[in-house]
Amino acid sequence: MKKSEIFHPKVEAKPDNLLFRFSLGQALYEEGATAAAIPHLQRCADSRDDWMLPRILLGKSLLQIGRDAEAKPILKTALELAVAQHHDDPAAELRTMLADL
């Protein structure tokens, strides 16, 4: 069973549970269903100004489907959060991604 199959019914039952929604978005991203992951990750990113992980996955998803211009500001914000929250590995990864854009 795919991980997304676990979280689809949870999101349907509790659409406002952002942890379920993030888990679904993350599972879809990991399964290669990046376009399907975007609305879930976007909703999570919009829900909290300090939530870094959905922004990273949202930016990566947008890059994978060729929406680089949309991804760039999201990844920049994710980098600012990574630095502020002392997440060194994600910050390094984000700097590399942004340098390539």
pTM: 0.95
User: What is the topology classification, in CATH, of domain 3-100?
Assistant: 1.25.40
What is the pLDDT, as a whole number, of residue 57? Answer: 98
Kindly report, residue by residue over 47-99, the tens digit of the pLDDT. 999 999 999 999 999 999 999 999 999 999 999 999 999 999 999 999 999 99
- The span from the CA of 22 to the CA of 12, in Å, is 13
Structure tokens at 65: 């489907």
Query: Residue 67 and residue 42: Cα distance in Å, rounded?
Result: 14
CB 98 within 8 A of CB 72: yes
Element (H, E) at 22: helix 18-30
With beta carbons less than 8 A apart as the criterion, state whether 44 and 56 touch: no
